[in-house]
């Protein structure tokens, strides 16, 4: 009977702790019955036990039948998971690439250093990709557990949908492919990362002598300006992320997203106006000791407001266009 | 085994899997323990893999269609299963569905005409 206990132990250790004792107890009883049927009253030999167990199936198989199929991320959520995972890994890779480019352009002084950074990039990229993978998977796993349990209890019939609620096929101007939102999300994340965590990287880099060995790095932005505008930028960026995630999921512009886009544009106009009126953003220290670049310096310091004004015009046009398209989309097409 | 035969095999086992719950419920109007149920099914021509049947019984109990209790008086402790009220109702509904399916299949296979008369 030792063989039987070994068998039961192997099954038991594959079962959830809560049901283990009960299932094993039942199996011991059932296998005993099967053994009795085989021996018909004579004493069971080890061969008898082995034959009964063999017919019953391997411990892994038997345990699997009790446990049923289990998913980390079920088929229902898998498509969404796959989409988010690709975006996350792409954003991570894109962000790291841009960071590398910035590093190479600013911090690198020698060819050896550049090579070192380049070789260090591959493990960085791998670590980044795995981190993104880990976070996305963990979040989806938790959602799966929470949602799947609830949904399993809901009878199929209740999860009905009405074919009449199917959206119209979007007109060409309303169609949104995945590339646009993904690029927007990527750049927004990069902006958030750069201005929040590494504003020092936004700098003018120049060399006093020829070659790469005497690089100087002068911060381009004032800390006063950053302190005043960064919170507003962050609000705009988060709103942009939400809007483009929506566009990505829906695959089309709709009335709500058009209006949200216009509102976001209005907000940008307000922020730009404030940037013209408020504290200076460009550091006056830039190019100070470079008489050759005096013209550029003047242009940068006084022209930046004109640039903001230009952006206000462009943004206004975009906002108006958005509202027009939103209203047009509401009017039934004849 | 030829490809055709293995396709047939997997389709047949799918059919059997679909009818297994009905077969099992039908035999549980009286108390049965796992092994007695296997023998009962087998005596009536249905050979069931034990390691499929036993987890199924627990699943049906979890779905609150069966009641179970341990009996200690016999040669060894045994867990008996029997239909409860919900199980009996489900068995009746499922049987009706089964009858309808048989009828439709008979028609589809050209064994009967629309009034159910044999051709």
d(CA B37, CA B44) in angstroms, rounded, equals: 11
Percentage of chain B beyond pLDDT 70 is 93
The pLDDT value recorded for residue A214 is: 58
**Domain-by-domain residue ranges, chain A?**
2-67, 71-153, 170-334
Strand order in the sheet with B78-83: B32-33, B78-83, B66-71
Is B79–A26 a contact, with Cβ atoms under 8 angstroms apart? yes
The pLDDT value recorded for residue A332 is: 55
Split at pLDDT 50, 70, 90, the class of B80 is: very high
pTM over 0.80: no
The pLDDT value recorded for residue A328 is: 83
- Name which of A285, A303, A280 is nearest A216 in CA terms: A285
The pLDDT value recorded for residue A190 is: 85
The pLDDT value recorded for residue A157 is: 44
Residues of B in contact with A34 (CB under 8 A): 35, 50
* Mean pLDDT value of segment A50-62: 88
The pLDDT value recorded for residue A213 is: 55
* Mean pLDDT value of segment A151-177: 66
ipTM value: 0.83
Is B76–A27 a contact, with Cβ atoms under 8 angstroms apart? no
d(CA A120, CA A96) in angstroms, rounded, equals: 12
Alpha carbon of B34: minimum distance to chain A alpha carbons (Å)? 6
pLDDT in tens, A251-271: 888 889 999 999 999 999 999
d(CA B90, CA B60) in angstroms, rounded, equals: 11
Residues of A in contact with B90 (CB under 8 A): none
Please check the confidence at residue A222 and state whether its pLDDT lies above 90. no
Is B51–A57 a contact, with Cβ atoms under 8 angstroms apart? yes
Selecting from B51, B77, B78 the residue whose C-beta is nearest the C-beta of A61 gives B51
pLDDT in tens, A76-92: 778 878 888 888 888 88
Split at pLDDT 50, 70, 90, the class of A205 is: low
Residues of B in contact with A37 (CB under 8 A): 35, 39
**DSSP per position, A100-134:** HHHHHHHT--SHHHHHHHHHHHHHHHHHHHHHHHH
d(CA A53, CA A8) in angstroms, rounded, equals: 10
pLDDT in tens, A298-308: 787 888 889 99
Under 8 Å CB-to-CB from A317, ≥6 apart: which residues? none
Is B78–A29 a contact, with Cβ atoms under 8 angstroms apart? yes
What backbone phi and psi angles, to 5 degrees, belong to A264? Answer: -65, -35
Domains, in order of start, for chain B: 3-108 (1.10.10.10)
Mean pLDDT of chain A: 82
DSSP A221: B
* Mean pLDDT value of segment B34-40: 92
Nearest residue of B to residue A19 by CA position? B58
Tokens 């009795």 appear where? A36
* Mean pLDDT value of segment A21-31: 92
Is A66–B35 a contact, with Cβ atoms under 8 angstroms apart? no
């Amino acid at each position: 009977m030792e063989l039987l206990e070994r068998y039961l132990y192997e099954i038991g250790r594959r079962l959830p702790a809560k049901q283990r004792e009960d299932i094993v107890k039942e199996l011991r009883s059932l296998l005993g019955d099967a053994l009795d049927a085989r021996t018909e009253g004579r004493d069971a030999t080890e061969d008898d036990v082995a034959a009964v167990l063999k017919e019953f199936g391997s411990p892994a198989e038997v345990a699997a039948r009790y446990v049923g199929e289990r998913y980390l991320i079920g088929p229902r959520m898998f498509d969404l998971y796959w989409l988010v995972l690709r975006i996350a890994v792409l954003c991570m890779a894109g962000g790291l690439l841009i960071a590398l480019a910035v590093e190479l352009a600013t911090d690198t002084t020698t060819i050896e250093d550049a090579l070192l950074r380049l070789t260090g990039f591959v493990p960085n990229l791998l670590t980044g990709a795995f981190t993104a993978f880990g976070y996305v998977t963990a979040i989806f796993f938790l959602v799966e557990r929470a949602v799947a349990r609830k949904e399993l209890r809901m009878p199929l019939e209740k999860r009905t949908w009405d074919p009449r609620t199917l959206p119209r096929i979007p007109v060409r101007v309303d169609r949104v492919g995945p590339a646009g939102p993904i690029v927007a999300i990527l750049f927004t994340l990069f902006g958030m990362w750069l201005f929040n965590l590494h504003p020092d990287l936004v700098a003018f880099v120049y060399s006093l002598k020829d070659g790469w060995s005497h690089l100087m790095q002068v911060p381009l932005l004032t800390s006063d300006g950053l302190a005043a505008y960064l919170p507003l930028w962050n609000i705009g960026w988060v709103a942009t992320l939400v809007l483009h995630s929506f566009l990505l999921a829906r695959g089309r512009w709709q009335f709500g997203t058009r209006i949200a886009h216009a509102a976001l544009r209005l907000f940008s106009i307000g922020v730009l106006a404030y940037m013209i009126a408020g504290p200076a953003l460009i550091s006056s220290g830039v190019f100070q000791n470079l008489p050759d670049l005096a013209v550029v310096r003047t242009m940068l310091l006084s022209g930046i407001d004109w640039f903001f004004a230009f952006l206000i015009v462009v943004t206004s046009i975009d906002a108006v266009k958005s509202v027009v398209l939103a209203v047009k989309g509401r009017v039934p097409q004849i | 085994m030829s490809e055709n035969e293995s396709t047939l095999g997997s389709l047949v086992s799918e059919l059997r899997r679909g009818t297994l719950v009905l077969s099992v419920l039908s035999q549980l109007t009286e108390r049965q323990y796992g092994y007695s149920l296997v023998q009962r099914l087998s005596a009536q021509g249905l050979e069931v893999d034990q390691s499929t049947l036993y987890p199924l019984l627990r699943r049906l109990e979890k779905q609150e269609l069966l009641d179970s209790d341990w009996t200690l008086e016999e040669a060894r402790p045994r867990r008996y299963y029997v239909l409860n009220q919900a199980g009996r109702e489900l068995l009746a509904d499922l049987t009706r569905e089964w009858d309808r399916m048989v009828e439709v299949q008979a028609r589809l296979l050209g064994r009967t005409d629309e009034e159910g008369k044999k051709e």
